[in-house]
Amino acid sequence: MMGAVVAAGFAAGCTRTDSASDEPTLEKLQSDGKVTVGFAGEAPYSFEENGELTGATVALHREIFGELDVPEVEGVNADFGALIPGLQAGRFDVVSAGMSILPERCEQALFSEPEFNYTTALMVPTGNPANLSDMQSIQESGVRMAAMTGAIESDYARELGIDTLEVSTPQDGMDAVVNGRADVFALTGISLNWMKQNNPDVPVDVTPSFVAEIDGVPQVGAGGTVFRQGDEELRDAYNEKLREITSDPERYLEIVGPFGFTEAELPDPNLTTAQLCEGVPS
């Protein structure tokens, strides 16, 4: 069920409102008692399990929106590359996918402050026959790489001139490696390790995580919640509650730890969304 979706539209000033009621978005969500989030089925960030929406970003959203007097979180599943277009089209109120904060995305939508730090890993056939370890090793070996459409690993590949097999979901990426359509699938380390742990009989390995480098520059990886342009008030209210969580490692881990997240994923307090939107190097 799609749940409450706020109609697209802008009122005077910077706060998006519902065109029918002229309520600010946050007030409408509070009135409805629920927020609808777009997600792409990437475990352990946001996914469905036994018909229930779950994951680390979903847990954060239940905590934060609950404190904002929006007790229900409902989900709409979409391909990763369709999440921002779906947000803009009003299919959902926010994006719950731990999406990497990148300059080109900041031109299309608003991002919360960072919720997670990222590293990349590689899913390879058992034994890692091509001895892959990072993006450069893929580039040099000429193996076939799979990447999720719209994911940052696809951007890394493009920057390095690596042709990729575009897949819609993490499951499609793993299947591509298993059936030989790809030799490697690149995605965040936390996602690939979760997949391996939950599919122990699948003949794949996951390499140690690494920080990708492009032209010798380590790529800062951090993700957050995505809001529609014009929803600054909603984003700011969200950030205020998020800051209380990320400044308290024990509370942060109580929320996201059950999904495999550790203090290594706790966002750097000195790294801001404003910097990431400007393309700041590490």
Whole-angstrom distance, CA of residue 29 vs CA of residue 281 = 36
pLDDT in tens, 141-183: 999 999 999 899 999 999 999 999 999 999 999 999 999 999 9
Instruction: Tell me if domain 29-117+221-271 and domain 120-218 are identical in fold.
Output: yes
Q: Where are the domains of the chain?
A: 29-117+221-271, 120-218
Total residues belonging to the chain = 282
pLDDT of 220 above 80:
no
CA nearest to 46, candidates 185, 167, 223: 223
pLDDT band at 281 (very low <50, low <70, confident <90, very high): low
What sign results for the dihedral spanned by CA atoms 29, 32, 34, 36?
negative
Question: Any idea which architecture 29-117+221-271 has in CATH?
Answer: 3-Layer(aba) Sandwich (3.40)
Whole-angstrom distance, CA of residue 98 vs CA of residue 45 = 6
Q: Which residue type occupies 259?
A: F
Query: Hey, which residues does 218 pair with through a beta bridge?
Result: 213
Whole-number percent of the chain with pLDDT over 90: 84
pLDDT in tens, 237-273: 999 999 999 999 999 999 999 998 988 899 999 999 9
* Residue 30 burial class via C-beta count within 10 angstroms: exposed 0-12, middle 13-18, buried 19 and up: middle
CA distances from 44 to 58, 75, 170, 195, 258 (A): 10, 15, 11, 9, 9
CA distances from 18 to 73, 103, 187 (A): 19, 28, 36
Mean pLDDT of 93-119: 95
Whole-angstrom distance, CA of residue 181 vs CA of residue 174 = 10
pTM of the full structure: 0.80
The answer to whether the CB of 45 falls within 8 A of the CB of 191 is yes
Please report the pLDDT score of residue 13 as a whole number.
32
Whole-angstrom distance, CA of residue 86 vs CA of residue 261 = 27
CA nearest to 58, candidates 268, 260, 194, 259: 259
Mean pLDDT of 30-43: 96
- How many Cβ atoms are within 10 Å of 269's Cβ, its own excluded? 11
Coarse DSSP helix, strand, coil percentages of the chain, rounded to the nearest 5 percent = 35, 25, 40
CA nearest to 246, candidates 65, 82, 74, 116: 116
CATH topology of domain 120-218: D-Maltodextrin-Binding Protein; domain 2 (3.40.190)
The mean of the pLDDT values for the chain is 90
pLDDT band at 197 (very low <50, low <70, confident <90, very high): very high
